[in-house]
Structure formats: C-alpha cells, structure tokens
C-alpha cells in the first residue's frame, strides 16, 4: 500500500505535469472510485477547472482547483496515477481518467478498486483529523511521546493510526520499529524515553530516505511515469520474512498484529525488555 514516501513521490512527480493545466473532461470506467458527490456531479464539477497545485496530507493528495474547491485522491491499497498521452491505450485496470488541456491525461489505475476520489469544498472534513506530519518541524520527539502517552495498544497498530501520526503504514512502521529495536507488540506505555527518541529519529530518517528513493515498489506501486521506486531495496525487515536479519543473522519473523502482517527480528527487537 502506498504510504507517505510513495504518495509524496507521486505528488512531486505529478506537479510539473498538472500545475496550471485545465481539466477538459473526466472519463470514468468504474463510477465507484468517486466517493462524493455523485459521479455525474464529480465530472461536471471538475471539467473546465484549472489545477493550481497539489499538496500531500498523510496518504491523501489534495489538488487545489481554480474554483476554490479540492479534488482529494487516496490511492489506498493498489492505486497509482500514471501520466501519458490521452490518445494512448489506458493502462490495465484504469478506473478513471483526468483529461488535461495539453493532450496528456492522468490515468487512475487501481487493480483492487479500493482507491477514492472526492470533489469537496471543505478539505478539513476529509483531512482535518489527521495526526501531525512526521517530517514537519513541529513533529518532535516530545510530540510523539505525548501522543503515545497512556496508550496500551501495540506499537505497530499505533504507528499505523492516521490520527496519531499521519502517513505511516505497515511497511514503514516495521522499518522504524526495527531501527529503534522495539518489538511490534510492545505497548506504547512500556517504552522508555530513550526508546521513543530512537523511534522518532528512525521514523524521520527512514521516511526521508524512502522519498529520496522514490518510494517502495513491493507490490503494485508505480510512479507517474510508470517506473518503480527503489526504497524497498533498503528494507531491513519489511517483506523479508524468513530471510536473515541484516544485523544479527536471525531469521526475520512475520506475525499478525491487529490484522496487520508485521515483520521483525526477534533478537534485535525483544518482546520483553
């Protein structure tokens, strides 16, 4: 599933293609990808608008429109946004096409159909409750400690909670917990101050490196030009079940924590400390 580094990469790489462009029309191959308003209102509301820019918040992309409203896109499990000529054959599994006035289109490809598009006037209704952005200056170790305080849930589940910190999902939670030496089932309230600081630094370092590597293509993530990211080549535990830990050689294990497959090294991340 695309997480913060993947969505940030897609946003950055879409920007030069869409900024200042007008939307000449929308084609929907699957209406269910539009969550609000109705599919017909979505298409007519977007047509004729100019795209002023895109921001990312958590795993959402917010397109700023000349009419003052917002197109909000979530890639969910398997979505990608591909830019190519409008006249070219749509990529397989394309559910929606945003046609631009320069002859290019943005193709929303989404094999599993979990992706979502919204046209809204009030973006806070969608993204207003998200937790802090982990790469912003106002996200500090103290902020993380405060948000984890008194929480009994396993760390893996908490890091994936979008209202606690925005943008982290299963892959980068596993990587950050490994780097900090924290077992995924440990409760937040069991963490020492040093462990929280280690985790904080790991989150920032790992997300930044993954953005530099243009995201992780472990399954169906593609960049807007159709190429893959390389961040997964740096993974130390995520999606490495059974392979030797790169630090100690112990086989990496996979367990399910609150419904999420979680990879960890049992030696580097002891359950009891």
Q: Is 267 a catalytic residue?
A: no
Pick the closest to residue 13 from 97, 108, 81, 71 (CA basis): 81
Yes or no: say if 11 and 55 are a contact pair by the CB < 8 Å rule: yes
Give the nearest distance from C-beta 144 to Zn ion in angstroms.
Answer: 24
Give the nearest distance from C-beta 264 to Zn ion in angstroms.
Answer: 9
Give the nearest distance from C-beta 251 to Zn ion in angstroms.
Answer: 9
The 8-class DSSP code of residue 190 comes to G
Q: Does 268 bind Zn ion (CB under 5 A)?
A: yes
Give the nearest distance from C-beta 247 to Zn ion in angstroms.
Answer: 4
Token duo for residue 195: 């462990």
How, if at all, do strands 34-36 and 116-120 pair?
parallel
Q: Does 270 bind Zn ion (CB under 5 A)?
A: no
Tell me the residue ranges of DSSP E strands in 101-173: 104-109, 116-120
**According to CB under 5 A, which one of 33, 97, 245, 257 is a site residue for Zn ion?**
245
Nearer to Zn ion by Cβ, of 51 and 245: the residue is 245
Q: How far from 1 is each of 78, 105, 113, 132, CA to CA, in Å?
A: 6, 23, 13, 20
Give the nearest distance from C-beta 171 to Zn ion in angstroms.
Answer: 18
Question: Which listed residue (21, 57, 59, 186) is catalytic?
Answer: 59
Q: How far from 155 is each of 5, 21, 76, 170, 237, CA to CA, in Å?
A: 20, 43, 22, 11, 16
Residues 10-49 that bind Zn ion (CB under 5 A): none
Residues 173-232 that bind Zn ion (CB under 5 A): none
Residue in the structure block whose two tokens are 């920007």:
15
**According to CB under 5 A, which one of 248, 256, 270, 273 is a site residue for Zn ion?**
248
Nearer to Zn ion by Cβ, of 146 and 243: the residue is 243
Q: Does 61 bind Zn ion (CB under 5 A)?
A: no
Q: Is 198 a catalytic residue?
A: no
The 10 Å CB-count burial string (b at 16+, else e) for 97-135 is bbbbeeebbbbbbbeeeebbbbbbeebeebbeebbbbbe
Nearer to Zn ion by Cβ, of 109 and 183: the residue is 183
Q: How many chain residues interact with Zn ion (CB under 5 A)?
A: 7
Query: Which residue number has the CB closest to Zn ion?
Result: 245
Q: Please give the positions annotated as active site.
A: 2-3, 59, 260
Question: Which residues of the shown chain bind Zn ion in the complex (CB under 5 A)?
Answer: 245, 247-248, 250, 265, 267-268
């Amino acid at each position: 599933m695309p997480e913060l580094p993947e969505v940030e990469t897609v946003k950055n790489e879409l920007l030069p293609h869409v900024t200042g462009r007008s939307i000449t029309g929308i084609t929907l191959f699957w209406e269910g990808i539009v969550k609000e308003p109705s599919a017909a209102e979505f298409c007519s509301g977007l047509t004729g608008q100019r795209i002023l820019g895109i921001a990312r918040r958590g795993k959402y992309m917010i397109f700023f429109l000349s009419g003052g409203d917002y197109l909000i896109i979530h890639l969910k499990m398997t979505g990608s946004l591909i830019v190519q000529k409008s006249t070219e054959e749509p990529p397989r599994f394309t559910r929606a096409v945003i046609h631009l006035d320069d002859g290019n289109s943005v193709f929303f490809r989404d094999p599993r159909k979990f992706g979502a598009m919204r046209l809204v006037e009030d973006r806070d209704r969608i993204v207003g409750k998200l937790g802090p952005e982990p790469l912003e200056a106002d996200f500090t170790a103290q902020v993380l400690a405060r948000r984890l305080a008194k929480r009994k849930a396993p760390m893996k589940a908490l890091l994936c909670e979008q209202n606690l910190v925005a943008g982290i999902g299963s892959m980068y939670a596993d990587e950050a917990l490994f780097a900090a030496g924290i077992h995924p089932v440990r409760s937040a309230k069991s963490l020492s101050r040093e462990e929280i600081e280690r985790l904080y630094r790991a989150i920032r370092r790992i997300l930044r490196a993954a953005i530099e590597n243009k995201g992780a293509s472990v399954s169906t993530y593609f960049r807007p030009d159709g190429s893959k990211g390389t961040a997964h080549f740096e993974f130390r535990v995520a999606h490495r079940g059974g392979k030797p830990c790169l630090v100690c050689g112990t086989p990496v294990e996979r367990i399910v924590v609150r419904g999420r497959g979680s990879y960890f090294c049992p030696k580097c991340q002891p359950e009891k400390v």
